[in-house]
């Protein structure tokens, strides 16, 4: 049998891919792999016992079988001799990641733990790098946010600068038609008194976007001295009914988390995420439609709005593509990369094959 390493060196097309996990993002990636002209789906790993034994085509909504049956057996995945595993579980299991890498399978993940290798716990980094060396493989974290909007796009925008004074990314998400009560009320704490704002969400912002900003700064030869995070909320001026339920007047109806990268006492990079369920807020905010707004202060200033032109009623079905597609398109580039944890700056520009 020709090994995965030989295929990557001599005949890298098509790439043999395993989809690991089939949630919202994973199922979209699964479908993209099946439909990709340069990728071959050879396996699907699932956590849910109800999905095990089902055809991958059914799991991703293709409506017909594709001949790959989902499994919960890791040994079956390891025996597939895959070129790459698209690793998309809800939580990262370092043992799993290292096992895959050491087996000879490259890993592209939408998990956020590996955006900035230098910021990892030294023991964790050493363990992952050792697994990459053993398998001759690479690991890359990407997605829409963080990833595309916090690394790939800023690197392109910085290519027309010779002096960068600051770069701010504002992310907006209108959740008014998101019919997910558990997410909005239990996890994100909408509808609570403003004093109940969860400080843990600040930690999440720092851990999710801090490494990405640090990776961006390092790529621009402007390493950050520190990363800070803070958050604030706005309340509903009046009781409002949204798809997930009712927000009483005076309860949290919008949240803003800000992650700031500092260098020599100055803010160089900033990421702000604004999630809102109504625009009738106290204090008055001016949340943009769902999408991103990027401002670049330098010797070639830029002001760029990137709106997601999708009706809010369709956003839940379309949004996973922004994260899943970039990971799928990255597969050939990660397979061709030298062994190790590879950042956005380490890889060539990811160019999608769309034939």
Task: List the domains of the chain with CATH numbers.
Answer: 4-144+320-341 (3.40.50.720), 161-299 (no CATH)
Cα 297 to Cα 269: distance, rounded to the nearest angstrom: 10
3-state SS class at 270: strand
Structure tokens at 50: 């109800």
Contact 15, 332 (CB under 8 A): yes
Contact 282, 235 (CB under 8 A): yes
pLDDT for 7 equals 47
pLDDT for 204 equals 73
Cα 314 to Cα 181: distance, rounded to the nearest angstrom: 17
pLDDT for 11 equals 46
pLDDT for 10 equals 44
CA 289, 294, 295, 300 dihedral sign is: negative
Cα 69 to Cα 91: distance, rounded to the nearest angstrom: 23
User: One digit per residue, pLDDT tens: the chain, 355 residues?
Assistant: 444 555 444 445 799 999 999 999 999 999 999 999 999 999 999 999 999 999 999 999 998 899 999 999 999 999 999 999 999 999 999 999 999 999 999 999 999 999 999 999 999 999 999 999 999 999 999 999 999 999 999 999 999 999 999 999 999 999 999 999 998 999 889 999 998 776 666 667 778 899 999 999 999 999 999 999 998 999 999 999 999 999 999 999 999 999 999 999 999 999 999 999 999 999 999 899 999 999 999 999 999 999 999 999 999 899 999 999 999 999 999 999 999 999 999 999 999 999 9
Q: What is the DSSP string of 114-167?
A: TS-GGGS-HHHHHHHHHHHHHHT-EEEE--IIIIIIIIIHHHHHHTT-S-EEEE
pLDDT for 46 equals 97
Whether omega for the bond prior to residue 341 falls within 30 degrees of 0, making it cis, is no
CA 184, 186, 192, 194 dihedral sign is: negative
pLDDT for 176 equals 95
pLDDT for 63 equals 83
**Of 5, 20, 2, 1, nearest in space to 104 by CA:** 5
Whether pTM exceeds 0.85: yes
* Exposed/middle/buried for residue 61 (C-beta within 10 Å: 0-12, 13-18, 19+): exposed
pLDDT for 9 equals 45
pLDDT for 207 equals 83
């Amino acid at each position: 049998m020709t090994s995965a390493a030989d295929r990557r060196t001599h005949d890298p097309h098509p790439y043999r891919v395993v989809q690991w996990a089939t949630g919202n993002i994973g199922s979209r990636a699964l479908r993209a792999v099946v439909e990709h002209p340069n990728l071959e789906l050879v396996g699907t790993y699932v956590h849910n016992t109800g999905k095990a034994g089902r055809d991958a085509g059914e799991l991703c909504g293709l409506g017909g079988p594709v001949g790959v049956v989902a499994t919960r057996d890791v040994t079956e995945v390891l025996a597939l001799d895959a070129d790459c595993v698209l690793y998309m579980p809800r939580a990262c299991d370092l043992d799993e990641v290292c096992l895959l890498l050491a087996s000879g399978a490259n890993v592209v993940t939408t998990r956020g733990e590996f955006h900035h290798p230098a910021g990892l716990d030294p023991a964790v980094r050493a363990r992952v790098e050792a697994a990459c060396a053993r398998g001759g493989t690479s690991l890359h974290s990407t997605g829409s946010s963080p990833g595309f909007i916090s690394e790939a796009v800023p690197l392109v925008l910085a290519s027309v600068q010779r002096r960068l004074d600051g770069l701010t990314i504002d992310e907006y998400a209108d959740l008014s038609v998101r019919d997910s009560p558990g997410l909005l009320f239990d996890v994100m704490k909408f509808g609570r008194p403003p004093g109940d704002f969860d400080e843990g969400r600040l930690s999440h912002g720092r851990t999710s976007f801090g490494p990405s900003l640090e990776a961006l700064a390092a790529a621009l030869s402007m390493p950050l001295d520190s990363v800070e995070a803070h958050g604030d909320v706005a309340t509903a001026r009046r009781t409002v009914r949204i798809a997930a339920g009712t927000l009483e007047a005076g309860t949290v109806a919008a949240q803003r988390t800000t992650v700031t990268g500092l260098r020599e006492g100055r803010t160089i990079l900033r990421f702000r995420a604004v999630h809102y369920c109504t625009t009738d807020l106290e204090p008055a905010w001016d949340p943009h439609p769902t999408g991103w707004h990027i401002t670049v202060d330098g010797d070639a200033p830029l002001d760029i709005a990137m709106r997601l032109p999708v009706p809010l009623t369709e956003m839940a079905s379309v949004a996973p593509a922004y994260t899943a597609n970039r990971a799928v398109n990255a597969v050939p580039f990660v397979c061709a990369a030298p062994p190790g944890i590879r950042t956005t700056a380490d890889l060539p520009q990811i160019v999608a094959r769309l034939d």
